[in-house]
Amino acid sequence: MGKTKSDLTFFQKVKRHKTLILMCTPAILFFLAFSYAPMPGIWVAFVKYNYRDGIFGSKFVGLDNFKFLWDSGKLLDLTKNTILYNLAFIILGNLLAVFMAILLNELRSKWFKKVSQTMMFLPYFISQVLVGILVYNLLNYDYGFVNSILTALGKEKWGPYSRPEVWPVLLVLIYLWQQTGYNSVVYFASIMGIDGEIIEAARVDGANGFQKIRYIILPSLKPTIVILLLFALGGIVKGNFGLFYNVIGSNSLLYSTTDIIETFVYRATIVDFNFSTASAVGLYQSVIGFLLVMTCNWVVKKIEPDYSLF
């Protein structure tokens, strides 16, 4: 009787999967060079860095660099805003991406399918600076497109730049508009990888379109959805600086609902930038993200081991 997968040693597993490992070599080298090799640089978060002495020669100050966020009195609010925005981006973004991928798969016209994919993909390549300009020209109180229409209809003007409560919805909508086309590509590729014979057999058995989606396509997408969600959780404490800074800018009236860790740190350090302070903030975000990924992966492994990262 042959050995089961769990009985194999590490080197036996490497030998068995040597072709796959060889294909992964470029990615492995990339992460070794740009993720693992720089890890000793974490030490800069615990020193008062100066250029002359370097990272390991600078004076050790312990956790003093982390007091920057805590002493501001905004750490909890900033972390809450960052996490809640990212949760909305992750959950709604993946749901909409799956929905759009399924719709694209159901299109019969190849020409219309290609045009639709292209139109959905284009916003992803638009600079965040241009997105900010576009949003401002749409929502500006005096000359914005929306208020021009409202004025023409005899309605009262709308001033979103003085109303912080509307921006969580607006920012999520802007993100979904820009990212959904790109995110749907992965799910569309997964749908294309489903064995056509299974779908054909279901069609012969009398399954309609909704039954095909419910019992074949969605279960087939489940591993991809779980893995992408686990990856996304690793950056849940890292905000989309480009989106928030270019759309909100320096409008302090909106900070209560739109300020995230990155935008606050940028404003606080723009005059006197400090590598140690910035590294401390980055380490804080990375540690929380790491703990979240490990916890969620453990939960997934308990429920469905085949869908876990490791």
CA-CA distance, 6 to 69, in Å (whole number)? 46
What tokens were used for 291?
């703990």
The 3-state DSSP class for residue 277 equals helix
CA dihedral 141, 144, 146, 147 (to 10 degrees): 40
Six-digit token pair at 254?
């909106």
pLDDT given for residue 7 in this prediction: 64
φ and ψ of 180, to 5 deg: -60, -45
pLDDT of 86 reads 94
- In this predicted structure, what is the pLDDT of residue 243? 93
Closest CA to 14 of 33, 28, 1: 28
Backbone angles phi, psi at 47, to 5 degrees: -130, 165
Helix (H, G, I), strand (E, B) or coil at 47: strand
Query: Which residues lie below 8 Å from residue 190, measured CB to CB, with a gap of 6+?
Result: 101, 220, 221, 224
Helix (H) or strand (E) segment spanning residue 189: helix 167-192
pLDDT reported for residue 1: 46
Please give the model's pTM, rounded to 2 decimal places.
0.85
Three-state DSSP class for 59? strand
Distance CA 309, CA 293 (A): 9
Q: Is the dihedral of CA 283, 289, 290, 292 positive or negative?
A: positive
What is the three-class DSSP state of 48? Answer: strand
Residue 181 burial by Cβ neighbours in a 10 Å radius (0-12, 13-18, 19+): buried
Per-residue pLDDT of the chain (310 residues; tens, 9 = 90+): 455 555 677 788 888 888 888 998 999 999 899 888 988 888 999 998 888 888 888 889 888 888 877 887 788 899 999 999 999 999 999 999 999 999 988 888 888 888 888 888 889 999 999 999 999 999 998 888 999 999 999 899 998 999 999 999 999 999 999 999 888 988 988 888 888 888 888 888 888 888 888 888 898 898 889 888 888 888 889 889 999 999 998 889 999 999 999 999 888 887 677 788 888 888 888 888 888 888 888 888 888 887 777 7
- Asked whether the beta carbons of 140 and 147 are under 8 A apart, the reply is yes
Long-range contacts of 65-69 (CB under 8 A, 24+ apart): 65/274, 65/276, 65/277, 65/279, 65/280, 66/280, 66/284, 68/268, 68/277, 68/280, 68/281, 69/261, 69/265, 69/280, 69/281, 69/284
Q: Which two tokens stand for residue 31?
A: 């992460």
